[in-house]
Structure 1
């Protein structure tokens, strides 16, 4: 196991939209006695942090005379919605699809020879639920020196835990949540909706985005639920990045298609949002197990249905220094602010087969 002294999440202050994050070096040696103590102390700190965060949100909303800000599943909005990683470690960048509480995460990291001290690891959401080791994964996340985004199952589980702690009735499918600790709940509470790594020109989100809409304007529901979009007329682009000059020299915003997001094709048809995403950035996402691996020009879907007996898949990119030497196209496009492709990023797809079917494959993914 990849046991380390966890880095504490920052829950201080009021909710913000973006924040830089820089994780320092780690050691991959086996756990020592002092590390056990460190983990216990970190757990206590996380427990205090989650309670402090709830109190801060409550006081802030009462003082402002407005409703408590919540996610679509009625959980407190995370302190950081869009997390920005400005300084990466010197090793590879590894992005893993939906784990859903399956032990294949640890098998995949073993196969990749993941190095906590140098590699950068991002989990694409739905860390928990349906699989047998959800709590093990929550316990491992702070020890892996990784980042993760919030999936719809992560938020639903946190909501169920809060209901249970409040003495309310919860859905029987979340029965396992009764045994979750405060520390495990704190991991879920701290998950942002996106993790962006500007130096690679990429962003990780669980489900996706509405094409043409800046990430800062994306709805929380969309970011962990959308699969398809339906075109509904045209509108002006909200970012000035694509503004063009008229003959008079005055800048105008481009007119682009306007889309309505939907979760499932049966709810209104449409087409995969990723096929319409034109970047930048290049988006890595999960959530869409029915389509399995998706290789759109500027979006890569990594949910290959591990919990349904499929595979757990990772997108692996070279260390940033090597990538800049190996890919002149990457360097040129980053300099010009153009979207990068998997080929530019030198992406290698690595997968492990599921050891078993953890959830019936006939079940509709949610």
Structure 2
């Protein structure tokens, strides 16, 4: 009996030790699994932050969302390199992909579809579409044009109209809280239908009888202010008609798209909406000038080697003429510029510049430059521009050279005669005819 009594505490002590060991093992196991979970979460966090730090910038692709919308709206990427894999293959034949660069569409979605059909655009073939800016404003369907571009996976550059629309949206976002109703009301007050399309513009009173210089100056200032107000209202109306994804897509467009070396005939090819200043490196080009310039003038007290000053107006020499002359005189690799913007000059084809704005906004035509590979057996290809364009100083010998290198170009145009644009175009033609008859 005494032996059993002495054995009981010993068994109890052994049981306590086992329970203690089990609890310690369980505690260690929980600690072990906790450390494993922490380690896994740490690895996931590090991988996420590393991938985030290598996310593409807003300008990497027109289809990628912007990282910082506020800054992207008003501060575009200046230059972006086009993937070499997208360039046309020399002597690739009719089944090889095309590059189709389209001029100023200005919200004319019907004309855009017609032009794509006329160029034989094929997404299945891998054709690449590039917009030379000013896809939006002035026409009836800016959202439709941007939507079509996004569906195609198109590329493009920011034009002055995209820049104005994005700036208007940035101002709207930073203003006092409100809704789009306020913007629509402001647009309606100046005759805008909510898509950036100006209607029923009041006629300017040009009568100066019985007024002094002060009154005339005040009238001009008032007319200028009214025009600016209407322009800003149209820009904001266009912005509010676009979806968030469409705004993001436009904000991602660079100012200059560097296509690269297409062939020895064309050299380096760049797309810029308005133009480039000769003798200024690409990275030093002024974004505003690239989106708005038309002519060049010397700076005051300039030296012969100083770059020319870009102007939005027409007081100087056309920049494309100066650029073409410089490239012809240049030794080594040449640079070809494809641009839009200058509707008054219209479709203008030079050796090293291709001007594609054929005034679709006023019901004339929409144009595209198509780079296409030749077949291996091709020895010559004549690719004149359409009848409403101007081909300057391009010889038959130069056309033969282009074909020999396996890549040629053609210009395709379609009419934009639809809706209000057709009416505006007819009005302009009637005005020109009346003016010519008066002069006679």
Name the TM-score class by shorter chain: 0.5 to 0.7
- Superposed displacement of residue 129, structure 1: 0.4
Distance (whole Å) between structure 2 residues aligned to residue 323 and residue 282 of structure 1:
23
RMSD over equivalenced CA pairs, Å: 3.3
Contact kept in structure 1, 2:337 and 2:353, CA below 8 Å = yes
Q: By percentage of residues, which structure has more helix? A: 2
Residues 198 and 143 of structure 1, relative CA distance in 2, 3 Å threshold:
same
Q: Which residue of 2 aligns with 1:286?
A: 340
Contact kept in structure 2, 1:99 and 1:128, CA below 8 Å = yes
1:300 counterpart SS class: strand
Q: Which residue of 2 aligns with 1:308?
A: 362
- Superposed displacement of residue 285, structure 1: 0.3
Is 1:152 equivalent to 2:166 in the alignment?
Answer: no
Contact kept in structure 1, 2:81 and 2:260, CA below 8 Å = no
Distance (whole Å) between structure 1 residues aligned to residue 68 and residue 79 of structure 2:
14
Q: Which residue of 1 aligns with 2:284?
A: 217
Q: Which residue of 1 aligns with 2:140?
A: 132
1:276 counterpart SS class: helix
Is 1:189 equivalent to 2:284 in the alignment?
Answer: no
2:250 counterpart SS class: helix
Matches within 5 A, 1:245-256: 256=305
- Superposed displacement of residue 346, structure 1: 2.4
Contact kept in structure 2, 1:14 and 1:79, CA below 8 Å = no
Distance (whole Å) between structure 1 residues aligned to residue 271 and residue 164 of structure 2:
20
Q: Which residue of 2 aligns with 1:161?
A: 169
Contact kept in structure 1, 2:295 and 2:319, CA below 8 Å = yes
- Superposed displacement of residue 360, structure 1: 3.6
Q: By percentage of residues, which structure has more strand? A: 1
Residues 355 and 79 of structure 1, relative CA distance in 2, 3 Å threshold:
same
Query: For each residue in 1:188-246, what CA deviation from the matched residue of structure 2 results, as whole angstroms up to 9, or x when unmatched?
Result: 110111112213131111000111212221100111001000134435xxxxxxxxxxx
Q: Which residue of 1 aligns with 2:86?
A: 88
Is 1:54 equivalent to 2:69 in the alignment?
Answer: yes
Q: Which residue of 2 aligns with 1:227?
A: 294
TM-score in terms of structure 1 length = 0.66
- Superposed displacement of residue 105, structure 1: 0.9
Contact kept in structure 2, 1:275 and 1:297, CA below 8 Å = no
Q: Which residue of 2 aligns with 1:108?
A: 115
Contact kept in structure 1, 2:58 and 2:252, CA below 8 Å = no
- Superposed displacement of residue 325, structure 1: 7.2
TM-score in terms of structure 2 length = 0.56
Q: Which residue of 2 aligns with 1:258?
A: 307
Query: For each residue in 1:38-64, what CA deviation from the matched residue of structure 2 results, as whole angstroms up to 9, or x when unmatched?
Result: xxxx9xxx6xx33x4237x5xxxxxxx
Matches within 5 A, 1:63-78: 75-78=73-76
Q: Which residue of 1 aligns with 2:16?
A: none
1:82 counterpart SS class: strand
Could you tell me which runs of 5 or more consecutive residues in structure 2 were left unpaired when the two chains were aligned.
1-53, 88-95, 177-182, 184-228, 263-267, 328-333, 381-397, 430-440
Tell me which structure has the larger Cα radius of gyration: 2
Q: Which residue of 1 aligns with 2:46?
A: none
Q: Which residue of 2 aligns with 1:99?
A: 105
- Report how many residues are paired: 274
Is 1:348 equivalent to 2:410 in the alignment?
Answer: yes
Distance (whole Å) between structure 1 residues aligned to residue 75 and residue 377 of structure 2:
40
